[in-house]
Structures are given as structure tokens and as C-alpha cells.
Amino acid sequence: MADDARRMSDTESMMWRLEKDPHLASAFANITVLDRTPDMDALCARMERTAILFPRLRRRVQPAPGNVGNPTWVDDPDFDIRRHIRRISLPAPGSMGQLEDLVALLLADPFDRSRPLWQFTVVDGLAGGRSALVEKLHHTIADGQGGVELSLHFLDLEREPAPLPPLDPDLVAAAEAAASPDPAEALRGAMADSLRIPIALLRQVRDVLADPSLAASLGQGASATVRSLRTQLLEADAARSPLWVERSLRRRILTTSAPYAGVREASRVLGGRINTGFVTAVAQAAGAYHSRLGAPVESLRASMAVSTRTQDSGANAFTLVRMLVPTGEMPFAERFAAVNEAVEAARTRDEQGSLDAIAGLAAFLPTSVVTRIARAQAETVDFATSNVRGAGVPLYVAGALMLSNHPVGPLAGVAVNVTLMSYMGNLDVGIHVDEAAVREPDLLRECIDGAFGELCTFAPTRDGEGSSASPKRRWWRRRARD
């Protein structure tokens, strides 16, 4: 993927504006654990090349004239790769806990909006002679899957790969020219944006925002955009958790992993896919967390990122869907079946296009209104999930072998974000929590580990039986197969 689009999409523009509220920050990261320190000169050279192939890495954001319409990406005349790649070291003993705490600080630090919106940090001093690469990107540059495709430009299949072919000299020259922003082009873009939204539609939106009760009276004749806005405004059911109610800017990041084959095979046995197994495990863990703290809850509302990527998609191609998932006491197979049904319903219902529809109007609504709607929607969600497809072969970064690769998704106003990425026989998990809501984050990780462990008991062994020999386990498994 090499997105050379100069103007932000509607969704990217909305994410950019939402950051007026720091609770809605959209930066995300990857914690890539390496077997040794990468070659810094090689890493910088590779990222210099990558920034030519993926121009957004060399560009900063230019707001639209009068803030009407979507911002544009303009060349940074002072672009210097070494401003975006730095190297630090952990103190002894160099534990994963120390790395996780450091990443929480790095991710919470806002980007300098006058420069390109990415930062790579090599972290030395990890126990066992290991290092880590923390890759932090603003969501307007790419979504999770787009970030994976971006990484293909700087990852290798060998520790000492053959030299890459030279880039097209014209492409290099164009990147180094750092063209100045064209005010006339920016103005034309803003005018085009203002003309693509009919006046009648803007009036409907104005009326609904002025009196949300009018949303209920809109019929099927209303535009898809207004119907999506109606859905957003009428969804007023608060999040279900009795514990995860407060919000702050205090963050904690934790990591864990689960066996890819075990989760995949268990999910198949239970009648679904890895994504259902993942969401079920998180739901089970959330329920166990509440029960162990004396506040059991029957259901929680989860959000799930769903890719809308096609061959022609830009750097961001996703939408968010919400669903209620069972978190009370029940057999794991029953929970899996209920979550599977909820996931499939969420993928197909009309609300699937709501993010793009609302984003199309965001440029014409006051920022205060856009952030109010976004915060209100975040308050209906207890936890967020995202599943990013990774690689099944060993990968290298500037001569260092990747040992694990934990994605860290943005909170965007919710209490917990749990994101998963596959790599080399594992499902690497990043757990991002608001410490005001989740007072016992280590307990939550323990519950997530336990839930993945229970899921994997349904995976068949070589003799065709599950890894658990108990009659109850076999009964659940037979029922799931039937």
C-alpha cells in the first residue's frame, strides 16, 4: 500500500478533529520484541526509503481554509528521518513490565502537529539481550491493517537480506522536492467539499442536532446519512459495567499471547472463527474480572473494528460495530455461540456504514458537536476489540529477529481496548486500559489468559479428542459440533 492521496478521507478528517478532546486521541502502537538491537543506520536508511514509497510519512497535516472541508497532507520541508527514529534504554532488570509502562508514556505523549505524525523508538536493555521497537502512528496515517501493509516496506525475510533494487530516480526527486502547499488548490478542495453536501441535508442535520427527539420521527425516506445520525443519537443506553465507569488520561498497557493453532482449532470446533474465539475470550475475561471483584454483570457492550478494505481502499478502511456480549456465568460453548451470533448480526446490520456516513458530515459540524457525539457513543461501550492479521513466517527488522508483535489500539473514550495480531504461531495481544476505570489491570490480564486457556481446551488433539477429558467438556464439544 502506498497511499499518495493528498486530501484526508472523511473518516481521517473526523479522527483528526476529534483530538480536540484528548480522551478521543487515536494514535496506536506496536510493541515489537526483537532478539537483539537493530542496526540503527540500516533502520534509518530503510525508513528513508519507506517514506518515499509511503508519502504520508514525509508529510504533515494542513487544515482546510477556514476549517471548511477536509485537511490535506503537505510536504514537510524540514523532514529529517532521525527526528522520527530515536533510541533509548531500559534500566535493569529490563522487564516486560518496564517496557509496557514506557510504551504507555510514549503513546500518551501527543504528536507535534507541525510535523509528520509517526515515531519509532528502539528500546535497548530488555532482559536476555533483547530489544524492542515501538512503532507509534497517528490513525490518520493508516489503520491497523494499513499499518501492517506499511510495515512490509521495512521488514525482511532474512537477517542479512540482499540489497534492495534502487528506487525510480523521478520518485526520489519528487519526494525530496518538498513542494509548498498550493493555497488555491486547498481552497478549491474546500469549495468542492461544501458543494457535495446538499443544503437540504444540512438543514435536516441541523434540525436533528438542535432537537434530538426529532430523530425518532425520521422515516425511511430520510437519507442514509441522516438515518445513521439518528441511530447514533438514539443509542443512549449507557455502558453496562458497574466498575468501569470513570474516565481519565491515565493509561496502562499490558501484553500477553495465546497459541494460534489452539485458538483456531477450538474456534472451528465451536462453530466459528478466530475472531469469535477472541471476542468470546475477552467477554469471558471481563465477566470473570467483575465477579472476582464482587460486581458480577450479565452482559457488557463491546465494539469491534471491522475492515471494509478493498483493492481501491486508502490508508484507512474500517468501521466500528457495537454488540452486547454475555458476561455472566455460563458454559464456554454457550457463550461462544451467543457471541458468534452477535458478531454476525453486527457485521450485517444497517449500522455498519454509520462511521463513514457520520464522517461525511463531520467537516460541516462544529467540532464541539462532533466530539459530543463521539464521547456520547464511547460512553455506551464497555470495551473495544480489534483483530489484525499478521504474518506466519519469521520477520526481521534491520538485522534483528522479531520475537513477538503486540498491537496497542487507541482507547478513544472506552475503558479497555484489547487488540490481537497473529505472528509465528502466536496470537500476540495488547491490552490498553484507562486506570481510572480498570483499577486492577493485572487481574484483567490474568482473566484474559485464563479465558484463552479455557478456549484452547476445545481444540482437538491428534487422536481427535479434545485436550480436556472431562465428560462436561466432551458434551459441550459435541453440542457445538451438532
Cell of 247: 474516565
What pLDDT sits at residue 467? 46
Q: At 322, phi and psi to the nearest 5?
A: -120, 150
Same domain, 465 and 323: yes
Is residue 184 one of the residues assigned to a domain?
A: no
Same domain, 230 and 270: no
Distance CA(268)–CA(274), nearest Å, equals 8
Hey, which residues does 396 pair with through a beta bridge? 156, 401
Cell of 307: 475492515
Same domain, 161 and 282: no
Is residue 48 one of the residues assigned to a domain?
A: yes
Instruction: Provide the domain limits for residue 214.
Output: 189-234
- Residue 418's alpha-carbon distances to 260, 290, 406, 411, in angstroms, are 16, 17, 10, 9
Same domain, 29 and 143: yes
pTM of the model: 0.86
For the chain, list residues with pLDDT below 50: 1-2, 195, 199, 201, 220-221, 350-353, 463-482
What pLDDT sits at residue 352? 44
Is residue 216 one of the residues assigned to a domain?
A: yes
Q: Within 10 Å of residue 3's Cβ, how many Cβ atoms?
A: 19
Same domain, 206 and 78: no
Q: What is the pLDDT of residues 6-56, one digit of tens each?
A: 888 888 988 998 999 999 999 999 999 999 999 999 999 999 999 999 999
What pLDDT sits at residue 367? 79
- Residue at 210: amino acid letter: A
Same domain, 339 and 474: yes
Same domain, 353 and 465: yes
Q: Under a CB-based contact definition with an 8 Å cutoff, are residues 407 and 428 in contact? A: yes
CATH at residue 33: 3.30.559.10
Four-CA torsion 37, 39, 41, 43, nearest 10 degrees = -80
Spell out a b/e string for 195-210, using b for 16 or more CB atoms within 10 Å of the CB, else e: eeeeeebeebbeebbe
Number of domains forming the structure of the chain: 3
Q: Under a CB-based contact definition with an 8 Å cutoff, are residues 35 and 403 in contact? A: yes
What residues have CB less than 8 Å from 78, skipping those under 6 apart? 115
Distance CA(420)–CA(423), nearest Å, equals 10
Is residue 403 one of the residues assigned to a domain?
A: no
What pLDDT sits at residue 464? 45
Same domain, 144 and 278: no
Same domain, 99 and 226: no
At what angle are helices 274-292 and 441-456 packed, to 10 degrees?
A: 130
What pLDDT sits at residue 236? 57
Is residue 209 one of the residues assigned to a domain?
A: yes
Same domain, 270 and 225: no
Is residue 400 one of the residues assigned to a domain?
A: no
Is residue 2 one of the residues assigned to a domain?
A: no
CATH at residue 338: 3.30.559.30
Same domain, 14 and 163: yes
- Residue 138's alpha-carbon distances to 15, 22, 109, 228, 408, in angstroms, are 9, 13, 12, 26, 12
Same domain, 333 and 456: yes
Q: What is the pLDDT of residues 148-205, one digit of tens each?
A: 889 999 999 999 999 999 999 888 888 877 666 666 565 555 555 554 555 454 555 5
SS (H, E, C) the chain: CCCCCCECCHHHHHHHHHCCCHHHCCCEEEEEEECCCCCHHHHHHHHHHHHHHCHHHHEEEECCHHHCCCCEEEECCCCCHHHCEEEEECCCCCCHHHHHHHHHHHHHCCCCCCCCCEEEEEEEEEHHHEEEEEEEECCCCCCHHHHHHHHCCCCECCCCCCCCCCCCHHHHHHHHHCCCCCHHHHHHHHHHHHHHCCHHHHHHHHHHHHCHHHHHHCCCCCCHHHHHHHHHHHCCCCCCCCCCCCCCCCEEEEEEEEEHHHHHHHHHHCCCCHHHHHHHHHHHHHHHHHHHCCCCCCEEEEEEEEECCCCCCCCCCEEEEEEEEECCCCCHHHHHHHHHHHHHHHHHCHHHHHHHHHHHHHCCCCHHHHHHHHHHHHCCCCEEEEEEEEECCCCEECCEEEEEEEEECCCCCCCEEEEEEEECCEEEEEEEEECCCCCCHHHHHHHHHHHHHHHHCCCECCCCCECCCCHHHHHHHHHHHC
Hey, which residues does 271 pair with through a beta bridge? none
Is residue 339 one of the residues assigned to a domain?
A: yes
